[in-house]
Amino acid sequence: MPKTPHPPRGSTPGGGRALVTGGAGFIGSHLVERLVARGTDVTVIDDLSTGRRENLAAVESGVRFIESDASAALPTLASEAPFDEVYHLAAAVGVDLVLADPIGSIERNIDVTADVLRFAHEHGAPRTLIASSSEVYGKPGAAVFSEDDDVHYGPTTTTRWSYACSKAIDEHLALAYHEHRGLPTVCVRLFNTVGPRQVGRYGMVLPRFVEAALAGTPLRVFGDGQQSRCFCDGRDVADVLPRLLAEPACFGRVFNLGSDAPITIAELAERVIAVLGSSSTIEKVPYGDAYPGGFEDLRHRKPDLARIRGAVGFEPTRTLEDTIRDVAAAIRGEGVTP
């Protein structure tokens, strides 16, 4: 089918209508708060499988909430006025969840993304952001991951690579909708996003560590702890997503989004204990005891942020220490900065 350009409506941020799938989740709820604050009419679709309704408590009166799988809810919105923006954040997340339910994870990532893109194309062609993952890189040959690098995955018999493949298909779909059907899309590869409202239930490392530190129990570090990651606060991520959709030069492109300051997991555990003044110790746990078969870890994961810096001037603003304190405050039920 030949390309049919659809010029985006309302490219200036503010006002308009936005749809956020996964909007009750950790990142999604912070994004919703920012959209409401700028005067946008927001509809949230979330099945609450990993999100929580209370995450939207601060803006609940100003948000239309639909508790549903996105694929089931989209047809009910077809007769309404088109959205100006669509943020598709709903996905299977977390190592534990992917390993426990690979079929559901694959179907949720690919099928629902296809439905969201089809809905957007057929109903006004709103600016559409697809949340992807650094997992797409697979086993990179470079120390720093750049958006146009080749990707290399492990065998299909290793379950974790199913998630990487499903997110790569999401990106292929979004880019094809832009190239062949004129839908203004942006793909964002998230790198180890952390912060208040994130839960450790599906293997997320920072809330697990903070919960243990607050309880005075050992922080369980898998493997030798020398694997490194770059942690970025979810509020910094939420700040920049609307800026990406407001810039037409970003359409049809893929962006790394995160921090580029690496820290080993052992150092992260030490940092959490120090920041919170905890009496906890650190316990090393072999991977074989932590995960079922089908898991394979990466030693290092660091993004090249040159593209997103050049496009919208992105820089993380919150320190890891601030994020640790705010995660602890949220777990205690205390208020934190939105």
Q: State the catalytic residues.
A: 163
Q: What are phi and psi of 205, to 5 degrees?
A: -70, -45
Under 8 Å between Cβ of 277 and 213: no
* CA distance readout (Å), 191 to 117, 173, 230, 278: 23, 21, 7, 27
- Identity of residue 255: F
Q: Which regions of 40-175 does DSSP assign to beta strands (E)?
A: 41-46, 63-67, 85-88, 127-133
- What crossing angle do the helices spanning 26-37 and 234-245 adopt, rounded to 10°? 50
| Cβ(200)–Cβ(93) below 8 Å | no
Helix axes 205-215, 320-332, angle to 10 degrees: 60
Contacts for 136 with CB less than 8 Å, ≥ 6 apart: 151, 164, 167, 168, 171, 189
Angular region, 168: left φ>0, alpha ψ -120 to 50, beta rest = alpha
Q: Is 293 helix (H, G, I), strand (E, B) or coil?
A: coil
Residue 263 token pair: 């820290």
333 contacts: CB under 8 Å, gap ≥ 6:
none
**83 exposed, middle or buried (CB, 10 Å; 0-12, 13-18, 19+)?**
buried
Q: 284's torsion region: left (phi>0), alpha (psi -120 to 50) or beta?
A: beta
